[in-house]
Copies of this chain bind each other. A is one copy, B any other.
Amino acid sequence: MLYGVTDLLKRNQLSVTDSRKKILELFMRSDGALAHADIEHHSGTEFDRVTIYRTLQTFVEKGIIHTIPTSDNSVRYALCKDECSEGHHHDDHVHFMCDGCGTTYCLDHVTVPAIALPQGFLASQTDVVISGKCDKCG
């Protein structure tokens, strides 16, 4: 698993640095999505705030993680289990935000049904954010 992180960084033509490894591991260990603040807390004072911002930005650009639209408009990032390591398959995600524990889940295996748009509207990406109670809080 440790080797996996290094490998993933190299496949994306990124230098393998401490911060990148630690942040990637954090994503891999965590169940749901992470906000910038979560990462800052977890890594303590180890990394500069700016480094975390830049690392997240880089990961998004490389398609390693993606942002999740949330109704409370806090920025959240998630690593998609199967797809992201392979490339840019970020369309048609379903995300679930639990009102109870606040966790954001990336439901990779839930399919988004086709939605009929008005005349002249052309969809390129569909984001679905469902809120409610997760299996632990139900």
Contacts and interface: CB of A to CB of B under 8 A. Distances in A.
A51 interface: no
Nearest to A93: B71
Interface size class of A (residues with CB under 8 A): 35 or more
Copy total for this chain:
2
A67 to B, nearest CB: 6
A133 B115 contact: no
Contacts of A68: 71
A2 to B, nearest CB: 29
Interface stretch (A23-31, A80-88, A122-130): A122-130
Contact of A131 (B74, B96, B113, B124): B124
A128 B126 contact: yes
Given A67-B71, A69-B73, A117 B110 contact: yes
A44 B65 CA distance: 38
A123 B130 contact: yes
Given A115-B130, A127-B129, 17 more contacts: A67-B72, A69-B71, A73-B74, A111-B116, A120-B135, A120-B136, A120-B138, A121-B133, A121-B134, A121-B138, A122-B132, A122-B133, A122-B138, A123-B130, A123-B132, A125-B131, A126-B129
24 contacts: A67-B72, A69-B70, A69-B73, A70-B73, A71-B125, A73-B74, A96-B121, A96-B123, A110-B116, A110-B117, A111-B116, A113-B113, A115-B128, A115-B130, A121-B132, A121-B135, A122-B133, A123-B130, A123-B132, A124-B132, A125-B130, A125-B132, A126-B131, A129-B129
